Amino acid sequence: MEPHPRDPGRAAWALPCLLLLALPGVDAQAGQGFTLQQPQAKVTVTAGDNLTLICTVSGIAGPGSVMWLKGWGSGNKTVYDQNNADPSSRVTAAVPGSDTNFTIHIRNVQPEDMGTYYCVKFVKGAFGADEVFKHGSGTEVTVQAKPSPPLVSGPEQRARPNDSVPFTCTTGGFFPDKIDVKWFKNDNSMTAQQPQVTQSRMKTYNMSSTAQVTLQKDDARSQITCEVTHPTLRAPLRGSFQLSRVLRVPPSVKMRAEPSPAEVNKTVAFTCLLKEFYPANVSISWLENGIEIKGQNLSGPREVSRGLFELSSRVEVQATEEKNGSTITCRVVHDGQAPANDSAVLLISNPTLGGLSNEFQINKDDMLIYIVVGVVCTVLALLVAAILYLIRTKQIKGKSSPSARLHEPEKSSEATTQESDPNNLTYADLNFEKERKSIRRMVEMSQQSEYACIQSNQAPNGDDNLTYADLDMVHLSKAPKRPAPRPEEAGSEYASVQITRK
């Protein structure tokens, strides 16, 4: 409100005048039967509306104006002066020119207009100065202010799905301070922190409320809503925020080559497919062994379900023998983020080698691995065979230290005839243990088997045990058939050789 300026020094003499009014006889000297009525004790008005303050007088009083003051004492302000009325002011008299009705209208009331208003009758004092003669009991004005439309704000940078993001709802300029806040995601209610209410210099209140939202991949079409309820409102106020403003869904990048492997000098088409990303701003570049080549997008970003996008790009490469094994890379830059790459290898079938099947292709790195594994396995097999041979050799040497040999005599025609029979015994290598033990007889179970039995006398005492026997030119002749020491099949024959210790 823009109150009329007061006369200089009026605040200084206001209180002394009130004291004079309390003295006996002052009212009677100024006039008899004068009354001033200010019937409104409390008035409540909504900000922006018009306010009417009622004041009427009756009877006779001395010369002097009627004024409206906001507040009392040294801090009061003049709101309306009968003698200095300004038609352009938002405070005007309800009945202009009246000497009994001093009711006023205040247009477009604001929260700063809250306070207590007094209707005061002034009279000229003995020294010509205005003195307070009568005043009303005061009207307490309360301005109910509606909250401003809620404003919902989010993070300054985009976030990925599954990130928890804070959102803030603010409103202000309301009175009284009682206010209620609710949060919704689409049509579903959300939990939020208790709102914080603070008072401003204009005697109104401000509110701030915060809610945490976990972003989802399909939130490109979702929104959150802040709903405010206040006594001055007939219906709640709402503020909304589109989650697409803060959501970022990186694309999934997949490469494929057709055909693969390809024939020499044929064209191979490499396709890069980007699926389910948001927002739509994305760029694709192609590299061959790290060197950029030219490709083309098959279409612009196309919106699919849930508000996400997809895009495909393609590049064609001539399948020459020099490019066999080349790496083709699709590089994707989405929404200004770090590049994402996917690669495929250009494979060429060689007709001179019989070609390569589409189902199975071994590149150079795999072939090298197979060769290395084969060499290692071969070395290990040879090493194991050598170890087994050494162990077998040591076992044979350990058993052949003491021995007895029977040397075959010079062959005659008769011996030659006898050797033709594989069942005839022609050579024996006998190994004796140094310890004393009984001699076992060896019996062959063949029907034509023959055996030699070597017996030794009881070994003499001492260290001159028999450890070696060398029999030269001993003819093993067939002995007449006789019962064997152990049961044998019919027709068996054996020869007995006896050795006499010297």
Bond preceding residue 63 cis, omega within 30 of 0: no
335 and 445 belong to one structural domain: no
For residue 32, name the pLDDT band (cuts at 50, 70, 90): low
Q: 189: domain range?
A: 151-245
Question: Would you state the pLDDT for residue 396?
Answer: 79
20 and 112 belong to one structural domain: yes
Task: Provide the CA 68 distance to its chain's centre, in angstroms.
Answer: 67
- CA 283 to CA 138: how far, in whole Å? 73
116 and 198 belong to one structural domain: no
* Inside any domain, residue 216: yes
The number of folded domains in the chain is 5
At which of 119, 144, 169 does a domain end? 144
25 and 41 belong to one structural domain: yes
Q: Does the pLDDT of residue 270 top 50, yes or no?
A: yes
In 3D space, the residue among 480, 407, 406, 414 whose CA is nearest the CA of residue 494 turns out to be: 480
* Inside any domain, residue 4: no
* Inside any domain, residue 5: no
Residues in the chain: 502
For residue 125, name the pLDDT band (cuts at 50, 70, 90): confident
27 and 117 belong to one structural domain: yes
* Inside any domain, residue 1: no
130 and 201 belong to one structural domain: no
Can you tell me the mean pLDDT for 277-305?
92
- Maximum average pLDDT range among 283-297, 398-412, 456-470: 283-297
* Inside any domain, residue 2: no
Report the 3 state secondary structure along 127-181.
CCCEEEEEECCCEEEEEEECCCCCEEECCCCCECCCCEEEEEEEEEEEECCCCEE
Question: Would you state the pLDDT for residue 312?
Answer: 94
* Inside any domain, residue 3: no
* Inside any domain, residue 211: yes
Q: Does the pLDDT of residue 177 top 60, yes or no?
A: yes
Q: Does the pLDDT of residue 480 top 60, yes or no?
A: no
Amino acid at 211: A
Question: Would you state the pLDDT for residue 106?
Answer: 95
Strand boundaries in 82-138, DSSP class E:
91-93, 104-106, 115-124, 130-135
127 and 17 belong to one structural domain: yes
Question: Would you state the pLDDT for residue 287?
Answer: 96
The per-residue pLDDT for range 40-77, each reduced to its tens digit, is: 999 999 988 999 999 999 988 888 889 999 999 888 89
In 3D space, the residue among 453, 451, 427, 425 whose CA is nearest the CA of residue 440 turns out to be: 453
420 and 323 belong to one structural domain: no
At which of 229, 245, 261 does a domain end? 245
Q: Does the pLDDT of residue 202 top 60, yes or no?
A: yes
For residue 208, name the pLDDT band (cuts at 50, 70, 90): very high
Q: Does the pLDDT of residue 448 top 90, yes or no?
A: no
19 and 139 belong to one structural domain: yes
Among all chains, which residue has been given the structure tokens 């002066």?
A: 81
Q: Is 119 helix (H, G, I), strand (E, B) or coil?
A: strand
The per-residue pLDDT for range 210-265, each reduced to its tens digit, is: 999 999 999 999 999 999 999 999 999 999 999 999 999 999 999 999 998 999 99
Question: Would you state the pLDDT for residue 363?
Answer: 54
- Maximum average pLDDT range among 96-100, 296-300, 432-436: 96-100
The per-residue pLDDT for range 373-394, each reduced to its tens digit, is: 889 999 999 999 989 888 888 8
CATH code, 58: 2.60.40.10
For all residues of the chain together, what is the average pLDDT? 78
* Inside any domain, residue 484: yes
Among all chains, which residue has been given the structure tokens 């009945």?
A: 95
Question: Would you state the pLDDT for residue 83?
Answer: 83
42 and 109 belong to one structural domain: yes
Can you tell me the mean pLDDT for 158-183?
95
Question: Would you state the pLDDT for residue 51?
Answer: 95
At which of 144, 169, 195 does a domain end? 144
18 and 119 belong to one structural domain: yes
Question: Would you state the pLDDT for residue 364?
Answer: 56
Least confident of 264-273, 278-287, 310-319, 367-376: 367-376
pLDDT: which is higher, 322 or 474: 322
235 and 272 belong to one structural domain: no
The answer to whether the beta carbons of residues 338 and 283 sit under 8 Å apart is no
Cβ burial 309-319 (10 Å sphere, 16+ → b, else e): bbbebbbebeb
- CA 41 to CA 52: how far, in whole Å? 13
The per-residue pLDDT for range 350-359, each reduced to its tens digit, is: 744 444 444 3
Question: Would you state the pLDDT for residue 451?
Answer: 46
